[in-house]
Amino acid sequence: MEDTSFAIHPDREEGTEAATYHDIGDVVEWKKAEQGALFHCENGYVFVQFYREDILRITMNPKTVPVLEQSLAIASAKEQAEVDIQSSGEGLIIQTEKLTAILSLSPFRLKVTDAAGRLLLKEEERGMAFRHDGEVRCFKKMEKEDHFYGLGEKTGFLDKRGEKLTMWNSDVFAPHNPETDALYQSVPFFMTIREGKAHGVFLDNTFKTIFDFKREQARYFFSAEGGELDYYIMAGPSPKEVIEQYSWLTGRMELPPKWAIGYHQSRYSYKTAAEVRELVAAFKEKDIPLDAVFLDIHYMDGYRVFTFDQDRFPRPEALIQELSEEGIHVVPIVDPGVKKDPESPVYIEGIRGGHFCQYAEGDLYTGEVWPGISVFPDFFHDSVRQWWGEQHKFYTDMGIEGIWNDMNEPAVFNETKTMDLEVLHNYDGELKTHRELHNAYGLFMGMATYQGLKQQLNGKRPFLLTRAGFSGIQRYAAVWTGDNRSFWEHLQMSMPMCMNLGISGIPFSGADVGGFAHDAAEELLVRWTQLGAFMPYFRNHSNLGTVRQEPWSFGDKAESIIKQFIQLRYRWLPYIYTLFREAHQTGMPVMRALILEYPDDIQTVNLSDQFLLGEHVLVAPITKPNTSHRAVYLPEGEWYDYWTDQKMSGKRHILAEAEWDQLPLFIKEGAILPQADTFKPADQLSIHIYPGNEVSEFLLYDDDGETFAYQNGDYFELNIKAWKKGSTAYIEIDERHSGYTPTWKDISINVHGAVARMVINGKEQ
Ligand code: GLC
């Protein structure tokens, strides 16, 4: 019925909801509590507590004193903070050096300012409220200059002002469009940027949550269908500091194995070992670098996880071994649904161990997915995660080091698209409904898989790709944006989507290059590969029955350009890998919205079709057919065209020309870009320097790219400093850390711009 005009039936208009909400009311009494205060209000309790000097945690519970339990998304324990509490005319002031919470007591209202007295958040006539059906809600004043970012994986433009967004992990095969709301990931976190300054809010709640920046002009709200209203306010004040704060809270990614950031080829499905061999041989023959081949669901015996179809893949271990000798990894798909099959050992073992999700009465939950009627592991219990992780020995014993988790929202083929909400999960001893934990199912599957692989890989880094996730998924997996289509609009959309994933603490993301569903075409694949080469995760994947979209599928011209850009990706890997190191250390996204680096520049507020790779590289892909030019915004500073070295001043729009074989790419003065001249292995490194009048610095990072030895100091750091005086470029190179010897045999220095002399470490060259 939703597909007909019935959807706009006159009786369906939403009523005024205000009446159904109960305000938290006046403060009846309050007392000091650890790093904050506890308020007993007319209609409930509120805990205001500093979690770290620059992170304030607010927890409201209408019924009881909040428990302040450590939630499943949080990765760091509360830090000691100097907290000062004073009564004031307005009520009560609770503050650290970084943040001030001002509480008025009748009714209870919160206002937060930073050290400089700048207003972050304010509640006016409406503040914290709840409904008797369990919903909790929080209203905040929305200033005219507020813009909103983050919120995970969402369609639409970069800035979410004017949008209402729902967090409910959903498998959406229908074409993703600006109205598509809930997708596969839920990240109930947003960053507000107001006149160049930022703060963050993380609503730590796994129930269905809503963020509404649309309904009212001067107020927004966020709400959860159940649980406590438990949220963290992050002080900023810069957007990058908010990301540091949020990623400290929810965790950061490990370094990926280097092979995970190369080029990956997938298809639903490469159906036989022979087809896989042919594919790999074609890459080799055409000299197109490749790091991984994906096995979609057809590799399995009747879609049973932890099996190989004996006819299609008679000796999988031999295939994997053979490919590994070519330097290629095989990544099989693993979905959560286990076929209900009494002859399947995984099913029987899981049943015996009580590992599958059940109803309160003890009946198993079953739902239909690829293998037919299936059961679903209850990943919320440690012993189930352990068990599931161990199953992966089936793959790791064959030499597999990467797994692709799909359908883990979990997706089920029924009306609601997922598991019954009344199914119970055993959250390490505590029973919680699927309604409460739905959004975290993929996160916990990721945890089980990643930890299992890590245990089995003897010190090697696992790679996990996931479709579903929740805040914190970055600790275990890279995220791809699910079932996009071979539409130019989807190429466009992949940029704001992945930029916001980056702001949401998930630096390792990408979209299916070429588009998954619908048919790719020559020009689209060329342009999408150019974009993909500069996205954090780079995989070409397509659906059953669609036109083939391997790099050579559209003839010689497209093939040679696609090859050139895949090779370019490999040249850029030393730089990209260093950016991943930064993501690992500080949470900073590899692919950055311009607003992160230029928050004061009004032009960047909703700039959705160009992005930065790190700080100094600006990528502006062509996003339309039959087009060889586009407008590019260059922010302040001096910029170089990557291809011609033509220098341009920024803070203006330019018209960039880019024939099929080009991608508008700009390098900012001050950039220091290490690039490999060869790939797999990189044995010659060129450091490209674009010196400016001010000193710029880059800390090049490298390690073995495959083990965790870097955690014990086995890594390499080269600090490079550069500046220019007149026509002389000064460069200082100093090895900061020598725990690992890179594969480069030679390093050459290339200086760009008008430079006549070069002085390296004090010596004229
Ligand atoms: C889902 C995935 C897609 C995969 C397909 C078959 O649609 O999103 O990537 O190819 O299932 O496994």
Computed from CA positions of residues 739, 743, 747, 752, in that sequence, does the dihedral angle turn out positive or negative? negative
Note if the bond before 237 is cis, omega within 30 degrees.
Answer: yes
Residue-wise pLDDT tens digits, 629-648: 999 999 999 999 999 999 99
Contact residues for 9 (Cβ-Cβ < 8 A; gap 6+)? none
Res. 533: pLDDT tops 60: yes
Q: Which atom of ligand 1 is nearest to the CA of 467?
A: 8
Q: Whose CA is nearest to atom 5 of ligand 1?
A: 268
- The response to whether residue 333 sits with its C-beta less than 6 Å from ligand 1 reads yes
Residue type, 444: F
Res. 44: pLDDT tops 80: yes
Q: Which atom of ligand 1 is nearest to the CA of 335?
A: 12
- Alpha helices in 612-694, H assignment, sequence order: none
> What confidence category does residue 68 fall into, taking pLDDT thresholds of 50, 70 and 90?
confident
**Coil, strand or helix: which one is 572?**
coil
**To which residue do tokens 């089936």 refer?**
394
Percent of the chain topping pLDDT 90: 94
Res. 240: pLDDT tops 80: yes
649 CA → ligand 1 middle, Å? 45
- The response to whether residue 689 sits with its C-beta less than 6 Å from ligand 1 reads no
Q: Kind of pairing, strands 185-186 and 469-470?
A: parallel
Q: Are 689 and 674 in contact (CB under 8 A)?
A: no
Q: Which atom of ligand 1 is nearest to the CA of 333?
A: 12
Give, for ligand 1, the residue of 299, 335, 406 to mutate: max count of ligand atoms closer than 8 Å to Cβ: 406
Q: Which atom of ligand 1 is nearest to the CA of 173?
A: 7
Domain 672-764 falls under CATH 3.40.50: no
In whole angstroms, what is the distance from residue 642 CA to residue 623 CA?
19
Residue type, 443: L
591-663: what CATH class?
mainly beta
- The response to whether residue 406 sits with its C-beta less than 6 Å from ligand 1 reads yes
Q: What is the mean pLDDT of residues 158-168?
A: 98
- The response to whether residue 483 sits with its C-beta less than 6 Å from ligand 1 reads yes
Q: Kind of pairing, strands 430-433 and 424-427?
A: antiparallel
**To which residue do tokens 């970055």 refer?**
474
268 CA → ligand 1 middle, Å? 7
Q: What is the mean pLDDT of residues 348-360?
A: 98
- The response to whether residue 297 sits with its C-beta less than 6 Å from ligand 1 reads yes
406 CA → ligand 1 middle, Å? 7
- The response to whether residue 294 sits with its C-beta less than 6 Å from ligand 1 reads no
Res. 7: pLDDT tops 80: no
- The response to whether residue 39 sits with its C-beta less than 6 Å from ligand 1 reads no
Res. 12: pLDDT tops 60: no
Cα torsion through 407, 413, 415, 421, rounded to 10: -50
Q: Which atom of ligand 1 is nearest to the CA of 297?
A: 12
CATH, domain range 17-250: 2.60.40.1760
Contact residues for 705 (Cβ-Cβ < 8 A; gap 6+)? 257, 258, 259, 577
Contact residues for 694 (Cβ-Cβ < 8 A; gap 6+)? 670, 723
DSSP structure string for 234-287: E--SSHHHHHHHHHHHH--PPPPPGGGGS-EE--TT--SHHHHHHHHHHHHHTT
pLDDT for position 1: 47
pLDDT for position 10: 66
Higher pLDDT, 10 or 162: 162
Beta bridge partners, 140, equal 220
Residue-wise pLDDT tens digits, 204-223: 999 999 999 999 999 999 99
Catalytic residues: 406, 409, 483
Q: Whose CA is nearest to atom 7 of ligand 1?
A: 483
Q: Can you read off the two tokens belonging to residue 133?
A: 């059906």
The rounded mean pLDDT for the chain is 96
379 CA → ligand 1 middle, Å? 21
- Residues spanned by CATH 2.60.40.1760 within the chain? 17-250
Give, for ligand 1, the residue of 153, 184, 304, 333 to mutate: max count of ligand atoms closer than 8 Å to Cβ: 333
Q: Are 167 and 188 in contact (CB under 8 A)?
A: yes
Res. 19: pLDDT tops 70: no
Query: What phi and psi, each to the nearest 5 degrees, are found at residue 573?
Result: -60, -40
DSSP structure string for 328-351: -EEEEEE-S-EE--TT-HHHHHHH
**Coil, strand or helix: which one is 110?**
strand
Res. 164: pLDDT tops 60: yes
Residue type, 705: G
Q: How many helices (H) and strands (E) does the chain have?
A: 13, 51
- The response to whether residue 120 sits with its C-beta less than 6 Å from ligand 1 reads no
Higher pLDDT, 91 or 222: 222
Indicate the helix (H) or strand (E) that contains 321: helix 316-325
Residue type, 571: R
Residue-wise pLDDT tens digits, 583-624: 999 999 999 999 999 999 999 999 999 999 999 999 999 999
Computed from CA positions of residues 253, 255, 261, 266, in that sequence, does the dihedral angle turn out positive or negative? negative
Q: Whose CA is nearest to atom 3 of ligand 1?
A: 483
Q: What is the mean pLDDT of residues 713-732?
A: 97
Residue-wise pLDDT tens digits, 297-324: 999 999 999 999 999 999 999 999 999 9
511 CA → ligand 1 middle, Å? 13
Cα–Cα distances in angstroms (integers) from residue 488 to residues 180, 263, 495, 538, 627, in the given order:
17, 21, 12, 17, 12
Res. 2: pLDDT tops 60: no
Give, for ligand 1, the residue of 297, 516, 540, 541 to mutate: max count of ligand atoms closer than 8 Å to Cβ: 516
- Residues spanned by CATH 2.60.40.1180 within the chain? 591-663
> What confidence category does residue 678 fall into, taking pLDDT thresholds of 50, 70 and 90?
confident
Q: Are 574 and 700 in contact (CB under 8 A)?
A: yes
Q: Whose CA is nearest to atom 4 of ligand 1?
A: 268
- The response to whether residue 669 sits with its C-beta less than 6 Å from ligand 1 reads no
264 CA → ligand 1 middle, Å? 15
411 CA → ligand 1 middle, Å? 11
> What confidence category does residue 3 fall into, taking pLDDT thresholds of 50, 70 and 90?
low
483 CA → ligand 1 middle, Å? 7
- The response to whether residue 171 sits with its C-beta less than 6 Å from ligand 1 reads no
Residue type, 519: D
19 CA → ligand 1 middle, Å? 44
Cα–Cα distances in angstroms (integers) from residue 600 to residues 196, 498, 591, 616, 618, in the given order:
4, 22, 19, 17, 18
Find the radius of gyration of the CA atoms of the chain: 26
Higher pLDDT, 7 or 393: 393
Q: Which atom of ligand 1 is nearest to the CA of 483?
A: 8
485 CA → ligand 1 middle, Å? 12
Question: Which strands sit side by side in the sheet containing 672-676, from one edge to the other?
Answer: 672-676, 684-689, 746-751
- The response to whether residue 267 sits with its C-beta less than 6 Å from ligand 1 reads no
pLDDT for position 70: 74
